[in-house]
Structure 1
Amino acid sequence: MRDEQSETFRAALRKEKGFEHLVQSLALADHVHFSILVCVSPLQADEAIKLLEQDISALREESVQFLRFAPQREGKKLDEPVTFGELVSQILEPLYNWNGTDSAESVFVVDASKAGREDQDAWKVFFQRMNEVRNVLMERLPGPLLLILPPLLDVEFCHHAPDFWSVRSAFVRLPNISAGVITMPLPVIDGKAGDRKPEPEFVYDKPDPEILYKQVEEARKNLNANPGDSSAARFFVILADRLGDYEIKWGNLDKALPIYQKSLNIMRRLTQTVPNRIEWRRDLAVSLIKVGDVHSARGDLEKALAVFQESLEVMRSLIQLDPDRTGWRRDLSVSLNKVGDVHSARGDLEKALAAFQESLEVMRSLIQLDPDRTEWRRDLVVSLIKIGDIYEARGDLEKALAAFQESLEVMRSLIQLDPDRTEWRRDLSVSLDRVGDVHKARGDLEKALAAFQESLEVRRSLIQLDPDRTEWRRDLSVSVEKVGNVHRARGDLEKALAAFQESLEVRRSLIQLDPDRTEWRRDLSVSLNKVGDVHSARGDLEKALAAFQESLDVMRSLIQLDPDRTEWRRDLSVSVEKVGDVHSARGDLEKALAAFQESLEVRHSLIQLDPDRTEWRRDLSVSLDRVGDVHSARGDLEKALAAFQESLEVRRSLIQLDPDRTEWRRDLSVSLNKVGDVHSARGDLEKALAAFQESLDVMRSLTQLDPDRTEWRRDLSVSLNKVGDVHSARGDLEKALAAFQESLDVMRSLTQLDPDRTEWRRDLTASLDRVGDVHSARGDLEKALAAFQESLEVRRSLIQLDPDRASFHYDIGISYAKLAQVSEAQNDIQDAIAFFQKALAEFSSLAENYPDVADWTRTANLCREELKRLEGQEV
């Protein structure tokens, strides 16, 4: 029974991410290596050592021996404390004077797992002595050193051996893993069971904040009492960083920042006092990164960049001292990535790419030194993904795909080495997501779906291993959402809604576990927006509004927690905008304008904080477009034009910053179309044509860059239709037909690529309608009839796919109305009446079922008037 329970316990240990890291770290370690393992009980320590020995031997493909040094309690009473002298003679002296043979494949273990409170004083002094001789120990031992601590000595080691702590390669706290009921008999003294009380169990997966704050406060008092004591200073930094890490994990940035800042100030003072203590300079770089991470998360990119740059300078200075120190070179790569992240967030993609490229070169150079170092290969993947992200943002999807594919290949090779390494399987899913993102951006939805589905399967398999692992459950929600995005892009709203609903349910379940976890609440807002988008596309505006409103409520509650959190303020503007979209679709233009104005004000306030933040400037242009749309719908063309012109100016300014940024060039095309629409509505066809023609030129240039980019080809079709509309309005039917025919050819080519893409098939019918309109205007009724009939057949096929899709029924009504007009032109009044009756049936049904959509009610009324007119002619 005990063996069975032990195996269950080991299986649970293997699931721990920290334990996996320790196995890899020790397996790859040379003799200059020190790690710490905190175990909640001697039993856990025993099982951990057995499992470490087994797994490390398997990875090295040779037997690895764990040499365990622990105080002997034979002949001592149960409550008799161990002495400092015993610890030195039984542990430190053998290690200090080690001259054993055949120990190259050994791990040296200092085991304090059985220490009780009565032993603390001896261990404290022992840790001080270890700290004093740390360099000798690390040089003399032929293998890595592992220190096993109980929770009650964890902080004590930080305090009394801060320099030894700072050179650790790995630090792992194991949670209180349950493996059934594994009992350990109490020692027997004088024939009776001992009455020593067991130590309280500590669970470290969610530390008690009260304990952490108390420890930091005690360390602060100790530091104030001993301001010149570097050990006291280092002890405070260690505990403060631990507290800051806790606050970061639970989303409390305002609490984490002053804690990290205090640590940073201390590390600055220490390094200024003793500049030659290189381990302190490395710790200074770590403190800088922690402070920078908080500034970055709060959206204060200027401050983030400043501290990341300082961290980078520190690491460069260390590498100049010892260019062959691989740990420092790896740290340099991390600092470069941090700097690149800020440049990327600010929209400065050139500087971001330069930083990521240098980081990648560092990792490639390390891998050349040791191709089998799996940790470095995984870091290589991180750099590749960051570079791919930049290429994707620049619109260079070929280079993006190449980077993501290489990252995927590296992860597949790592998985082959250890298929059970859950951390790597999770990383594999990330690479798959990135590959899928590029395929989706290129319009290759089949490949995108395949990548996302594989990622989803990986994440479902991880959840099966540990259903309570919240990080994996969040990852699952992301994968399901990506699958839903593809279904939505293909027009399969049922599957899209099912996926988004599953993602939403996962996120609701996470929030039930911890309602205060701000990251999860933000994720909930995103899921609600996705669900609302599908309801909106299906014409169910009530459900859409309910989802968007809940999303908005979530974001308002987060903003109340931290009004200065720029990421949340930006998300708030998105939710407000979506609420406005529904009001606009319902014809409630007052409420729509109020929502769009609020979104615009939020984005203006963000721009004032950082005028150079290109992402926010682009968001501003989107808000201006929304405001302009409402003014246009209200007939206030002056205000509409002013809003669209301002949006256009913003987008031109962005392109001046980076003319090759394809996303911005596409945005410019959209703005030009909106400006053109207003000029057209005002009857100024010359200005309208000029705007549409410039938009068309932009889209032609983009499609020349990447002819296979289906999104751009679809946009090209839209621009051609706009140009054709102006030519038609001017009476130049030849040019109009040429433009509409080219648009039609584009849409035919796209539907041939993916016949199931409903969005494209719907666009195809719009092009057919325009071609038919020109033929009708030219008096070629046969060709007009053929175009309208083909459009109707396509729309009927779409209805068969989704009979409840309101927009499809509206399109069917349009087809019937156009056929009625041709019939009337052919003097076939009865057929014209019959077609208008069918059209009215569609429009009336929509108006009845969706009374909030003003356009559909208005269209039904117009159709009803046309029908009365024709019926009057028949009489």
Structure 2
Amino acid sequence: MLDLEKNLIAYPALWRLRALMPRGLNSVRPGVLRSLDDEDYSMALKLANESYARRREQDYDAALTYACLLVGRELVVEARGILMRALETYPLDPALSALLADAMVIEGNIDGAREILAGISGKGAEIKRFSRPNIMSFVADIFLDLGDDELGDVDSAVELYQCALDADVDDPEPAIRLGQLYEGRGELDKAAAALEYAAKLSRTRVGLWQMTAEMWFEVGDELRGLNAKQRLLELGEAGAEEWLELGFEFAQFGRYERALDALDKVGTILHHSIRSPEVDAIYRDSLLVRGGVLLELGRAEVALAVFRDLEERVGEHPGAQRGMAEAALQIGDIMLAETHATRALELSPEDTEVLAVYGQMKQQYGRHADAIDALGKALVEHPDQAGWRSALALSLVKQSEVDQAREALQQAVESAKTYPELLPVAVDIQGWSRLIAQLRAASKEELASWIETQINFLSAPASE
């Protein structure tokens, strides 16, 4: 297979042939291609001329091939004659017209090139309705090459490059140029999409994935940025810390299975690493994230084992104790939850996550005043934690503080609407179900129905 960019002598002709021939390079005679690959341009011209001479412009492929080779050597006078005769047979043919405009630009006939381009790329023109995407990108290149900023037609180039991408052009270069043009115009979301298109076609060009990731992060589409970042890590020689960071970021956006995949990479790298304090620190952090992800997925028993493994490796840790308390709460072992939540609070009394788990544990024991105190302290620093605030609301109702409970539950819903990627929120479904049943038994249907609506929203996955 020809490598266009490495074949410097033949590249100008090969680029035109690939873009303009009906089936790309497959439409070119093998002998011509072999000569170009051997950098024997004279032989390629000779063979192309012989093929064209047999039937001249009646043989479309032969005429276009010969003209491409002539323009590739800037033999534009002869090429122009061939193309104009061919256009008498194939009026307004996009490929022939585009190459003629290209030749005119080389000659310096800018006005003539513009007139031809207007005829094939203007409103309702043939090129947009019928042409292959490679021709569109070729014409877009010509628009950019018409001269300086005053002569160049950036708007037309952008439109045609975008048409080429919409038609699934199989060359990354038009997408790269389109991305650069969009970036120059400040349309960063479109620039990111174009660069991502180019990166997917190129597959292994690390720089493209790097630019794609950075651009998506800049426009605020973190998930697409993380997808690009993952591909970047897969292509490079990423270390455990980089995979750990990616796993943590996926977990933040509720992509828990993707997070576990990244954390598996961490485990594989550490398995082959020599133990050291630095390695132990990464191991600890990766297990903390893994355990948290498993809790979000409802796999409490596996999470419990992960936190125990962490402490066997690095010793007692408040995050592990907190995680084991959460796991015990999910499993329904309240005594074990109390043991670990109490120890976590002793180890880290100011840790808001520890305070929240401690409050939830107290709630399970029916000690709602203690639960309200702990959860309230946790929410001072993290007011948008919908799960914690819904737990606070449950204890407030239990303490007959109905108005405060309504306010807290409404705030939990507003937080979840602000960060829908974190839905569903972890709420005590059984506790709320029992409360709703009790309210209905006490003929408090309005309050019961309102609470039920809020809990249903919080516990449902985010809508796509």
With the shorter chain as reference, the TM-score category is 0.3 to 0.5
Query: What's the TM-score once normalised by structure 2's chain length?
Result: 0.45
Higher relative contact order (CA 8 A, sep 6+): 1
